[in-house]
A and B are shown apart, each in its own frame.
Chain A
Amino acid sequence: QTVVTQEPSFSVSPGGTVTLTCGLSSGSVSTSYYPSWYQQTPGQAPRTLIYSTNTRSSGVPDRFSGSILGNKAALTITGAQADDESDYYCVLYMGSIRWVFGGGTKLTVL
């Protein structure tokens, strides 16, 4: 079974820029996987950030952006703020009306 890979953890300084990635255990991520990104803070439901690779969900600030970098999907946070400290999950569309989540990245802002 295909595994969706993410960095387990990442840290960024306040005001800094960080890029989280989302790959496949076998193969490359392309726009055909329609990658989406979700933010989750402890005790809360996930929040949709990005869908279809690079479209921001309603109300999401433009310091969050999505792209394909090399063979992975990427989420870039520009000008990181303290309240960006969260878990971030990518999801890839696997065809046949099925999706798979990555393992998530715990982002620390310090």
Chain B
Amino acid sequence: EVQLVQSGAEVKKPGESLKISCKGSGYSFTSYWIGWVRQMPGKGLEWMGIIYPGDSDTRYSPSFQGQVTISADKSISTAYLQWSSLKASDTAMYYCARHNYDILTGYYYMDVWGKGTTVTVSS
């Protein structure tokens, strides 16, 4: 079974750093892009960025460029989302999602989702 298992909920203070994870299993981790999606409390989904674990090619939404860092360790089939200095406005649910390749169109779509990691930033 293809699965993405995310790390547990985090409670942090403003200014602290954080790295959350997303571990893939049941498929070739290095062959699929993995993306991150933010959902602030009571709000919609926002696409943040994506990484290809095979070569660590990483792209960011302009809204998130410079705010977070996406990385991956292919040796343990795990992608990461990290912050160097958290803000209260980073309080949200964060989902990872595998981007699958549609062979008919040659493009990608999100097909498998993690259950999400809740991040709470409060003093």
State A28–B61 Cα separation when bound (angstroms). Answer: 21
Describe B's contact surface by its main secondary structure.
strand
In the complex the two chains form, is A55's CB within 8 Å of B47's CB? no
Determine whether B66 belongs to the interface, using a CB cutoff of 8 Å to chain A.
Answer: no
Residues 50-86 of B, flagged 1 when their CB comes within 8 A of A and 0 if not, give 1000000101011100000000000000000000000
Question: Is A98 a contact partner of B59 (Cβ separation < 8 A)?
Answer: yes
B62 surroundings in chain A (CB, below 8 A): 1
A45→B59 contact, CB < 8 A: no
Q: Are the C-beta atoms of B47 and A101 separated by less than 8 Å?
A: yes
Q: How far is the CA of A77 from the CA of B107 in the complex (A)?
A: 25
Does B109 make an interface contact (CB < 8 A)?
yes
B45 touches A101 (CB 8 A): yes
Pair B114/A45 contact, Cβ less than 8 Å: yes
Contacts of A57 in B (CB 8 A): 111
B47 touches A45 (CB 8 A): no
For residue B95, CB closer than 8 A to chain A, the reply is yes
A 64-76 binary contact with B (CB < 8 Å = 1; else 0)? 0000000000000
- List of 7 A-B pairs having minimum Cβ-Cβ separation, nearest first: A51-B109, A104-B44, A45-B113, A97-B59, A52-B105, A99-B47, A34-B107
